[in-house]
Amino acid sequence: MNRRLLINKTVMVLATGAALIGLAVLFWILGVLLFKGVSSIDWAVLTHDLVNKGLRNVLIGQFVLAGVATLIGVPLGMLAGIYLREYGVNSRFASLIRNLSDVMMSAPSIVIGVFIYGLLVVPHGSYFGWAGAVALGIMMIPIVVSTTDSMLSLVPQELREAGIALGASKAQVITTIVVKAAKVGLITGILLAFARIVGETAPLLFTSANNDYFTLNMNQQFPSLTVSIYQLATFPDQRSIDLAWAGSVILTFLVLFINITTRYIFRQRKIK
């Protein structure tokens, strides 16, 4: 008994110590980021384009890329998730899709970037915005598939049976009852997927590259905040380095805000 208690206390001390070390590193990173980043943010950062030592065009470009990627990834991911839960059920094909989706979620983002580079950028002859959006959309799909599959599985089977008993078709039951019942969880999954892609750099290096000027033409190189941070951090002048810190702070708090919002929505769903 004493040996068990000793082992239990030892493991608890080690686990607590590891958690404290992790928190210390996290707060250290955030502290350095705030110290160097907040002081670098001024009005010019938000009102000037990259060519004039600001971040306006790359901030807008990042949201455009993420928005188009969402329009690509969310419908495909939700349809696939609906098939897995409502039509495929426990078939071998559905199990294969689930396994492939899990593999895609753990695939390095740079691999997806290289894949899209060979598929779209090389035939096009140059980097362009649509390729970046497609790469980010592909990254969203497995997250949305997994979330949709999981959230629909929580909807009671009795709701489906009640809809069918009232004469509704399977498609009507899914769209008007099942999806509606799981909408909070589905929105949570979409927000998590958005937060995942909005901070990605590697796929965009191989697809949309970057643009110092403001543009909404996705048939050419397209501005993005993450690639700009990577490039600015390597420049020798202090203003470029300050811009990199400012962009890092903005991106960090954007992702943090999305994650906190997602957790709040999910917690409210649990309370209800």
Each residue of 127-163: pLDDT tens digit? 999 999 999 999 999 999 999 999 998 888 888 888 8
| Number of domains making up the chain | 2
Q: Which of 129, 140, 141 is nearest to 207 (CA)?
A: 129
Let me know whether 177 and 215 are in one domain: yes
Could you give the dihedral angle defined by the CA atoms of residues 107, 195, 227 and 115, in that order, rounded to the nearest 10 degrees? 30
Let me know whether 26 and 64 are in one domain: no
Q: Tell me what the mean pLDDT of segment 169-194 comes to.
A: 88
Let me know whether 16 and 108 are in one domain: no
Let me know whether 3 and 87 are in one domain: no
1 confidence band (pLDDT: 50, 70, 90): low
Let me know whether 16 and 120 are in one domain: no
Contact 208, 132 (CB under 8 A): yes
Let me know whether 95 and 229 are in one domain: yes
183 confidence band (pLDDT: 50, 70, 90): confident
Let me know whether 226 and 243 are in one domain: yes
pTM (2 d.p.): 0.87
Let me know whether 4 and 102 are in one domain: no
Amino acid at 195: A
Q: How many CB atoms lie within 10 A of CB 53?
A: 15
- Dump the DSSP string for 140-170: HHHHHHHHHHHHHHTS-HHHHHHHHHTT--H
CATH number for the domain that contains residue 222 = 1.10.3720.10
What is the span of the domain harbouring residue 8? 1-40
pLDDT in tens, 60-75: 999 999 999 999 999 9
Let me know whether 12 and 127 are in one domain: no
Please say if the pLDDT value at position 199 is more than 90: no
Let me know whether 68 and 31 are in one domain: no
Q: Which range, of 145-149, 202-206, 235-239, averages the lowest pLDDT?
A: 235-239
Please say if the pLDDT value at position 106 is more than 80: yes
Contact 224, 56 (CB under 8 A): no
225 confidence band (pLDDT: 50, 70, 90): very high
pLDDT attached to residue 187:
87
Tell me phi and psi for residue 91, to 5 degrees: -70, 160
Let me know whether 164 and 151 are in one domain: yes
Q: Which residue has the higher pLDDT, 229 or 4?
A: 229
Let me know whether 57 and 189 are in one domain: yes
